[in-house]
Structures are given as C-alpha cells and as structure tokens.
Structure 1
Amino acid sequence: MREEPPHAHSRTQQRRAHSPAPQEAVPLHSRCRTSQLEVITRMATQYWDVAEQLRTLISQGSYPNGTRLPAEDKLAVQYGVSRPTLRLALEQLQNEGLLDKRHGSGNFVRWPADRLIYPGIARMTDGHDLNTFVSRTETKADPSVAALLEIEQGDTVIAYTYLARRGTRPRSLTHAYVPARLAALISPNRSLHPWGHDIRQQFAESGVRLASSTERLIARLPTSTEARTLQISPRGTVLVVGRTLIDVAGRVVEASVVVIPGQCAEAIFTTHFALSSEECESSAPTAAHHEANQLVHGLNPAESDKEVSRD
C-alpha cells in the first residue's frame, strides 16, 4: 500500500480549511413557487396599468361610445404585454361596465356605463325600458327555497324565472317562488315586470292582504349559471336582492332573488314619514326641485312620472 508523504496530507487539509462551506440546496418545488408568485405579481401590475390607460382613453373620448377597440393581439403589442395579461385588463373594464365583450365581434366601448336602478318594492311600477321573458316551473323546494318561504323542504312550489334585457343585452335575472296553494292566483298572460312585481299586483287583486315586505341586499360573485345567463365575467360581482312578501296572517306568500350585474347596478330606497298637514304643505317639492332631482338621476324631466330611473 502506497503512503502519501506528510507534506501532501498537510496541503489537503489546508485546501479543505480554505474552501467555502457548502450552501444548503433550495428544494425545486420552493423555487417553482417563488417563480410562479413573481409571474403572477408582474401580471397583476401590468394588467392594472393597461386597464388604467384604457380607462383614461375611454373617459377622455379617445374611444367614443360604441367604438370597437383594436384587436387583442394589436393591443397586446401596443402595450408590450402578453395576451393573457391584456385579457385581464379588458375583463376588468368589462366588470366596471366600460366595455361590452361580444363574442366573435370584439370589445365595444360603453361610455357612460349603462346603469340599471333597482327602486325597491315600494316604488316599482310598469315604467321601465326592459324586455322581460318569463318561464314557469313546478318543482320541489330545496333547502334554500324552503328557508325563504318558511315551508318544509320538498314541498311543491311554483318557480318563475324572469330574464330582463335592455336591447339585446341581459340586465337582470329574477327567480320568484310561490307556494303551490297560491299558484292559481298567478296568470302568465299578465304584463310582466323584470323583478316579479306582477306577482305582487295579482295577489292584491285576488284579495291577498299583504302586511309587509323585506328586501336584503348583498354583493357576491355570480354562480356559473348566472355568469353565463347574464353574459358577465365569473370573476365580476353581482348585486343580489332577496325579497319576501308576508300576508296579514304572517305567512310568506312569495320570495324572490333578483340578480343584477354589479357593474351596472344601483339601488335607491325612499322612505316617506308621516307629516302633519302643515308640514306636508311646507315640504312639498317645487317644480324646480322636482326637475333638478330628475336631472341628477339622468332623467328627462318630461319622463318624471316614471319611477324606475336609468342613466
């Protein structure tokens, strides 16, 4: 066996002493997560910047109302971003109501954004500019419907689905539920209201004495069915109005869920308080005040008798 000379062994120890300590290896999956986070962060910053630039151009009139934006590939090159990043920017503007995406045609400007005002049940009339279609189905109450109507799960109910459009674009989706025992009071041949107000009217005409109504508003993401029906992004928001009608016996006679795309929704509720005759005279709005109020809400004063406002 060959022995190394003493000086060779010494040199080996010196090299080991001066060599840098080995660094701990970073797991591959950790490096992948870090890289993915950097990409997501960069895309979020870029798409928001692109959305802000397009938003400014739209508000300044560079892209007038009804104008089709350039093709997505051209916009991506113009702003120096990838097409997925650009689509996020366009989707953001769609959620804000500034763009109308028409499949197969492109992205069209809507400025000012199309608004739909939900006036509350106390001020609902037939005065609206929506085309409404309704379907009727007899079904069994699932847990959510049973809770709304305060009935047993599995009880028979009549479900009415109202789809309201302004022009060709869906603007609201309403599901109304009535206990089967009251279904005979509802005629499908009546004029329709986009939020099911025709049901309340027919109850009153049939002698059902209503005592109160409750409306509960929430904002949430749309379900896949709602997004598909209303032609909105599944990552947008919707305004949801849950409404119940209660008769003088304390029974829920109708429950509705109104879904309106969040980018075009506005809800206005007005409460009238009891006043003395002198107070009524002094608080009566003047013609000028009434006209100014209509202009604030974007109405032509000549249409001031309409209670459902729109921009």
Structure 2
Amino acid sequence: MASKQEKIKQRIEDYIRDSGIRQGGKLPPETALAQAFQVSRTTVRGAIQRLENEGKLLVKHGSGTFITRPLPAIPSSLDRLYSIGDMIRSAGLKEDEQLESIKRLDSCPREIAERMELDRHEPVIVLERTRTANGEAVAHSINYIPEQIAEVIMVNGSFTGSLFQNFEYKAGVRIVGAYSEMTVPARTDPHARRLMTSPQAAVLLFKQLHYDELNRQVLYSYDYVRSDIFQFWIRRNR
C-alpha cells in the first residue's frame, strides 16, 4: 500500500501535468500545496524531496521549487573507447562545451610524466572543458597534451570540437585505445563539485592514458562524469 508521501508525490506530478507548468516553471509554495491536498506541510516536503531525488524538481532555498526534467541515461560499454561527445550525441542529446582554460606548463607533473613516459622538463598544454547535454553540465575534462601535438591542433591559442578528431585530422595521430582507471572522487574535489547540481548527481572519475596506433602515449585525461547520466557496463566471462 502506498504511503501518504507517495500518494502526495503522485498528486503533485498530476498537478504539474494538468496545470501545464513547463520546465523552469515554479511550483506553488508548500503551504499552498498542503492546504490544497489537505495534508501536513511535512508530508508535502517529503513528497517534494522524493521528486527532487528523481530529478523532476529543483529546490532553491529562498527562491522556490522549480520544475525540471531528468536527462535520459547515456549508456556506454566499458570495453569500447568512446569520446564524451560521441556518447552524448548517441543518446540523441545536444552536445556543447564550455572552454574553462588552456594553460602551458613548462614542466610536466610527475604523475603525468611517469604515465606518458615524458621527460619531467617537457612542456605540456593543459586543456580544461565542461561538457553539456541539452544545456546541462554532465562532464568535466582535464587533458594533458604534449606541446608538439597541442600546437598543431589549437588555433590562435584556442580549441573547440572533438579532441579525438583534432588529433587525427590535424596532427595525424589516431587514438585507438586507452588504459582507464575508474574511481570515485572526493566530494570536496572542486572539479567533481561543479557537476553536483542536484542530490542525485554522483560523479565518477576516469583517469585515462590514451595511445595511438604505434602504442605511443599521446594524451592523459582526467574525465569527471555524472553517474546519474552516464551508465557504464562490461561483459564478464567465466
């Protein structure tokens, strides 16, 4: 038997549908909903919390409760290497990006240098971007690129488009695979926090060493992705 909160949750969903409130529209205050449904404000608050956890509402304290719409899941197999842009587009969503920064480091960080077998004094370019799906931030990438490749794929010190395609068509470097380590970043990680836009938005971190057809290490990436949006699987055989 459905609980009182579950019943009110369904009534709120019916109200949103029947009243024609669109995405971004505002829900009436909790007190008004409690009076309309003849229940306590606590029950209404609990129902709203459930809807927020499902990504259907966004509660902004001091501003109100707004209608939102959860993005569909973006599935991907872990045994295949797809770019973030490819995964977003394959789900039928509009992909876009926000360039956060491009920095030149005169010496390569120790961890990156060891993974890519670079000299510590070899300069690298650090490209940082936030990726969006239908206007919502779903991934954040930090890419370490050897300077000799970066200076070919970047135009006037800027960058846009698919990293994989730019590597292949501008630098003649075809990325064919990656060694990927999947971890859960700390909630205090500033790069992860920028993707935690709602209570259900957990984040995964992929540390990825990319290599080309000659097995040369050509790119190292920290890819933060929202686990409520990206779904990964792998087939395991016995």
Please, what TM-score do these two structures have when normalized by structure 1?
Answer: 0.51
* Match runs of 1:136-285 below 5 Å: 136-139=102-105, 140-146=107-113, 148-151=115-118, 156-188=123-155, 192-193=160-161, 198-205=162-169, 206-220=171-185, 222-226=187-191, 228-230=193-195, 232-233=197-198, 236-267=201-232
Paired position in structure 2 for 1:121: 81
Report the residue type matching 1:202 in the other structure.
Answer: N
Distance 1:56 1:143 in 2: 54
Find out whether 1:107 has 2:68 as its counterpart: no
SS of the counterpart of 2:166?
Answer: helix
Amino acid at match of 1:261: R
Q: Do the aligned partners of residues 103 and 144 (structure 1) sit closer, same or farther apart at CA in structure 2, a change above 3 Å counting? A: farther
SS of aligned partner of 1:178: strand
CA-to-partner distance for each residue in 1:235-263, whole Å, 9 max, x for gaps? Answer: 85113333331134433211222223233
1:236-291 deviation per Cα after TM superposition (whole angstroms, max 9, x unaligned): 51133333311344332112222232333334789xxxxxxxxxxxxxxxxxxxxx
Distance 1:245-1:100 versus aligned 2 partners, 3 A rule: same
Residue identity in the other structure for 2:197: I
TM-superposed CA distance for 1:61, in Å, is 3.1
Segments of 5+ residues of structure 1 without an aligned counterpart are 1-48, 271-311
* 1:255–1:107 distance in 2 versus 1, CA, 3 Å: farther
| Pairwise CA distance, 1:203 | 2.1
Q: For 1:199, give the aligned amino acid.
A: L
Work out whether residues 50 and 79 of structure 1, in 8 Å CA contact, stay in contact via their aligned partners in 2: no
Q: Percent identity at matched positions?
A: 21
For structure 2, the residue ranges without an aligned partner over 5 or more in a row are: none
Structure 1 residue 73 displacement after superposition: 6.6
Q: CA–CA distance in 2 between the matches of 1:221 and 1:71? A: 35
- Secondary structure of the 2:194 match is helix
**1:13 alignment partner in structure 2:** none
Pairwise mapping of residues 93-104 of structure 1 onto structure 2 (< 5 A)?
A: 93-101=51-59
Summarize the Cα distance change of 1:146–1:234 in structure 2 as closer, same or farther, 3 Å threshold.
farther
In angstroms, what is the RMSD of aligned CA positions?
4.3
The alpha-carbon distance between structure 1 residues 191 and 156, as it changes in their structure 2 partners (threshold 3 A), is: closer
Checking the alignment, whether the CA contact within 8 Å between 2:9 and 2:47 is kept in structure 1 is no
Deviation of 1:146 (Å)? 4.1
Quote the Cα distance in structure 2 between the aligned partners of 1:201 and 1:166: 19
Q: Distance in 2 between matches of 1:221 and 1:89?
A: 28
Partner in structure 2 of residue 68 of structure 1: 26
**TM-score, normalised to structure 2's length?**
0.63
* Cα pair 2:96 2:132 within 8 Å, conserved: yes
- Secondary structure of the residue aligned to 2:150 is helix
**Structure with the higher fraction of residues in strand conformation:** 2
Change over 3 Å in CA distance of 1:99–1:234 after alignment to 2: closer
